[in-house]
Every structure is written in structure tokens, then in C-alpha cells.
Amino acid sequence: MRTRRLIRVAILGQGLVATHFAVGLERLKRNEIRDYGVPLRDRIKYSYDDIEIVVSYDVDKSKIGRTVYDIALKVFDERNVPSTLKDIEIREGIHLGSLKGLPFEASGREEKIGLDNAIEEIVDDWKNLGIDIVLNLITTEPAVEFMELSKLQEALETTRLSATQAYAYALARYSRRSRSSAFINNIPVPIANDDAFVKLYVESNAVVFGDDASTGATPLTSDILEHMRERNRFVIDIAQFNIGGNTDFLSLDQPERNVMKKHTKSSIVRDILGYEAPNYIKPTGYLEPLGDKKFVAMILEYLSFNEFKDEIYIVARINDSPALAGLLVDLVRLGKIAIDRGVYGTCYPINAFYMKRPGPRGSKAIAKFKAYQMLLEWLGLNEN
């Protein structure tokens, strides 16, 4: 008989990130890998063993009804895929066009029974499973902010929500009826930056972390910008681009999806420098042979003393999905800590370190090394 874990997790979107997270987490529990890429490591009260993934949702018909183990075999050698993943079923989720225009055959529950009934079914699922944390890892999709609860409710009634927003609404409904829970929004759709959702979560005793998990080049860029600000170097311009070959980069080939990502990436410039520097910071292309190991390049021009112009160039190759998967190990545990403390709505000290566009609305992106100190202070940890 399996021991019931303290933190029960539902995954939305069984893509590469979710698969790396599931495989890596189980291997951490077995001491088969070291916990590189998990910033807080063993410094907080919940351990890796406390986490249990109990269900996954997807709209790709080739995944629905299968197990996470089945999907992991397509990515990893069988020897590195824990058999415990055979227990995690991938169930049909909410589509609302989230894969529209992409080369997948997709279906969602709402197409058969309507959106409100689909949300009800998922809420019942979570009640039966005792979910604490919902990880949103679906493909980047276009969406607009509601800001007012009345507009959110109207959008629900007229089915004018994105899939992320529908899931986020489902979690609020679940928290009101069953138990306080956390929604971790790892894509650019505004949830932690939408006043309507933050207010709804306060009223529902729920918490959201977001928006858009920060991995790869973005945290590096933010720390370089802080370096420039502290040394009073004037940034003339900055260009940073990413090219990758995974599904998320494929989706970002569509302008309406790309604009969501560009906003969360480029907003750090004014937030940190305090002025507008001309910038081009966004995913710039899809090249299938690159796979999950994206290509990153950056150039930053600035004026130093006596107005001499200097330049910084960076070129990197980064495994995209594992970088985020490691952060999720922290975010799941922090979600449970926030629930334990009764921190409802959203939580800036967590968002500032882990997210590109930290909520609540109006909050500034800051350098990640400063955000890390803020996070440790929030947790009551002493760096020394």
C-alpha cells in the first residue's frame, strides 16, 4: 500500500516540462540523481518524498487515457523511467482552442458537456483525489485580463476564457468547496497579474503563483541589468533572442501567442533600470532539429565612464524543460507552505524569484539575486 503524501499534485499539460518534472522527482526520491537545479534544495520543511503527482490532464488525443510512464518512455531510456509513473493517468482536460493551429488532434471536455459542466467534473476529480497543488504547464496561449470579477463571471457564462483561465477558475471553486489549494501558473497568461483572479482567490482561500516561470536567459538578463544599474552604467540597447525546437517554440511562431511571452520578458528592462532602453527580448524562432536544447544569444551595449561604449555578448545552449522542472520542485512545496500560512491571493516574494512577470499587478520585476534574498527572508531562512 502506497503512503499518502503530504502534497498532492495535479498537472495541466503533459508535455516535456511535466515529464521531466515527474521523472526527476521520482528519481530524487530514490536518490538516483542529485538535486541540481532545485534552488531551495533541502532547506524547507517539506521534502521531495512529501510530493506525490496523482493525476495529469491534457487535450492531445494521443496522450489522453495513457499514463505518464507511457509518455516518459518517449523521452527517456526505460532504465531511467520509474515504474511509479504507471499509476498517474492522463485524463482529458479543457481545450478552449489552446492547441488551435498546432499539429495536434485535440479534444476537451467542454466540447461535449459545456464549459461549466467540464469545470464541475474537474473540481469533482480534485475533491476525490485530495489535490493541494495544480501546476499549469500547458502550451502558451493568447488571453486578456479581466480585472473585475463581474467580467470574469460574464466570460465564463459566454465561454470567452482561455484554458488557463478556466482551470484557474476551477481551482477557486475547488478551494471554496473542499480545501485551500494553490495554482502555479508557469505560462504568460495573466492570473497573478489579473485583479479579478487575485480577488477571487482571496475570497476562496486559495493562492496563485505567477506569471510565466523564469528560466534560461531571462533571470541572467535581469541580473546583468541590475549590475548595470548599480554601477550607473547607461544601457543603450539590449537584444536577447531564443530559438528552440520544442512544442512551446512551435506555438510561439503564432504572433498572438508570441506577444504574451514578449510582454513578460521585456517588462524587466524598465522595472530594473528605471528607464526605457530600446530592447528586443522575445522568442524569435522555431527550428525543429534543436529540440528542447534552445539557442540563446544576447548583446547589451552601454556607456561607461567618460561615455565610452562597451558591449557584452552572451551565447548559450540551454536544455529548456529540465530548467523549469527543477523550479517546480520548489514551487510545489512553497505552495503548500503558503497554504499552511493562510497566504491567499498571491505572494510577491515567491513570484519575484520564480516568475518573469511577478504578480500582483503593478509589482516590479527585480534582479533574481535580490529576489532570492527576499524569498529567504519570507521563509525565515538565514543565508549565513
DSSP track, 252-305: TTSHHHHHHHHHHHHTHHHHHHSS---EEEEEEEE-GGGTTEEEEEEEEEEE-G
Rg (CA), the chain: 20
pLDDT band at 264 (very low <50, low <70, confident <90, very high): low
Average pLDDT on 199-214 reads 97
Asked whether residue 303 is domain-assigned, the answer is: yes
Whether 383 is covered by a domain: the verdict is no
Q: What is the extent of the structural domain holding 228? A: 217-319
- pLDDT at position 312 is 97
pLDDT at residue number 283: 76
Same domain, 311 and 197: no
With respect to residue 108, please indicate whether it lies within any of the assigned structural domains: yes
Number of domains in the chain: 2
* 165 domain residue, yes or no: yes
With respect to residue 1, please indicate whether it lies within any of the assigned structural domains: no
Among 272, 288, 319, give the residue marking a domain's end: 319
Give me 318's grid cell: 540551454
In this model, does residue 209 exceed pLDDT 90?
Answer: yes
| Res 248 pLDDT > 90 | no
Report the pLDDT averaged over residues 251-261: 63
The residue-averaged pLDDT of 281-310 equals 93
215 against 85, higher pLDDT: 85
C-alpha cell at 170: 476551477
Q: What is the 3-state secondary structure (H, E, C) of 28-70?
A: HHCCCCCCCCCCCCCCCCCCHHHEEEEEEEECECCCCCCEHHH
> Looking at the predicted structure, is the pLDDT value of residue 262 above 70?
no
Residue-wise pLDDT tens digits, 73-97:
999 999 999 999 999 999 999 999 9
Do residues 231 and 278 both lie within one domain? Answer: yes
Residue 378 pLDDT class (50, 70, 90 cuts): very high
Does 305 or 103 have the greater pLDDT score? 305
